Amino acid sequence: MPVRRRRSTALAAAVTTAAALGATALATLGGAAAASAAGSPLSDYELTWGIKQSYRTYVGMFGTFTTSEGATQAAGNGAFTFTEGTGTYDRTTNAVDLGFRGRLVSASAAHGFEVTLTDVRFDSGAGEITADVTTVDTSGATPVKKGDDVPLAKVAVTRAMTDMATTLTTEAGEYLGSAGYAGAAGDPLTVVKKTPEPTTGPSTEPTTGPSTEPTTGPSTEPSTDPTGPEPTGTDSTEPGPTDPQTTPATQDPSPTASTSASPSAPASAAPAKGEIADGTLGWGVKESFRSYVVGNIAKGKVTVSGGAVQAAGNGAFTFKDATGTYDTDADRLTATFQGAVNFKGHESGGTYGLDLTLSNLKATLDGGTGTLTADVNSLGTRTEGVVLADLEAKSGDLKADKNVITVDGIAATVTDAGAKVFGNYPAGTALDPVGLSVALSDDARLPDGGGPDTSGGTGGGSGTAGGSAGGGAGTAGGTGSTVGGTGTTTGGSIGGGSLASTGSDLPGPALGAAAGVAVVAGAGAVYATRRRRTQARSAE
């Protein structure tokens, strides 16, 4: 049975102290009392948890998972199962404390990390998952980081102990390499007793006779029959975990902007088709990528400029000042948005292995489907009009409300061209959803909060979410600048750099040389103000 090293160490110290004081008899009696209070023994349990899907996707793209010593992984880069769980059941509190066999190693030679999890434990009373964790920077840049009984997630414990919601901890972010994981929803957790093999002999216990023990109250003595009833989780009548993080399904580290329109309606309805007067687009690119950039691996920062803003907590981005055309009869829309976002990471000697800027974003919708295009500047090489993602809205209808068209939760998947920009994000990979709102007249009021709801959050002030040497998230606030220009894309044929792989397909000297040309003075972006808005301001 896996044991907690801290508890073993504490027990050994206590016994040594007792012996030194000559209290051997007292120590013996105390040990017997502790064993009695430990509760009924449990065995043959399994724990299944995927940690976080975006983490598995990230590791799967850049490296591998290896399971051993009783641990397995489901097909298709699925969740992990740890076996041979043993522990105790406290019949007074209905809590279980279980330790599991299994070893899980996530590693990437390209990005120089190796994370090993062993001694995975589930404590329903505390409402948490813990493990012994060893993190190694295989590039040699930082020392090995080890921790026993590291709390990885808080658990919203249920009686059935299946599909329990989890919330990742600050420690999980530290050991897994992304400060953005702290407080984020993890994968659901299931803890079940493995179904025993059927026996061929007759049962030695009566199954039809009346019980001789009361069943309405908790037992005051631990069960001595290991074949007796097993716990199914914390009893709903008993106090459960009270940590607010035990309901991660309701949490989102990135605040969402309100989509409620202003109560003041425009003076007159806009025509069925015409020019867009203004608008905002919300998009986070990909949550796992944002976390990676500011985490312990890339140790970088995210910077917005040109009027774009980023939600607090390394959230999604809002691009503003839309121009373009619309046709509500034909359900067509084309809108281009101002603002830029720059991702930097893997700094060495003042140059960056990752230096990517997206700007001049353009969304098109025609009957509910369309594309998302951007100018891309990767490691100093610019390409304009790269189709990054295919878009699919929930509905093909474009309807105006008070002269504002709002389309939320637009699914975005990487295109072939986007795959070349995003490196190890293959075509068809889901990106963060897109949301947009466009005004059809000068007097139309866009939703409060500066942007539409993208189900990932687009509101918030401008600023930089930057990683320190330790990979922690930086501050959000203030106006950032973009190094490398606000222009566009990947090298030459869209291959000079990659968003996710950060050039990992390039040899070291080539990557360094490419990064060396990335620094360009200033943002170099001057945006023309639309004639209609100029006239409106002149009239004020």
Domain boundaries, the chain: 1-10+39-195, 273-539
- The reported pLDDT for the residue numbered 232 is 55
Q: The tokens 């200033």 sit on which residue?
A: 522
Tally DSSP H helices, then E strands, for the chain: 9, 24
pTM for the model: 0.45
Block means of pLDDT (10 residues each) for the chain, 540 residues, are 45 44 42 52 95 86 89 92 94 90 90 90 95 86 83 93 93 85 92 67 42 39 40 44 37 39 57 94 91 87 95 93 95 96 91 92 96 95 95 94 94 92 83 95 79 46 36 33 32 34 28 31 32 42
- The reported pLDDT for the residue numbered 227 is 38
- Closest to 292 in 3D by CA, of 178, 136, 377, 189: 178
- Extract the tokens encoding 478: 């203030």
> What is the DSSP code (8-state) at residue 27?
H
- The reported pLDDT for the residue numbered 420 is 86
> What is the DSSP code (8-state) at residue 248?
G
Q: What are phi and psi of 369, to 5 degrees?
A: -120, 160
Q: Which amino acid is at 370?
A: G
- The reported pLDDT for the residue numbered 288 is 84
How far apart CA 352 and CA 45 sit, in angstroms, is 47
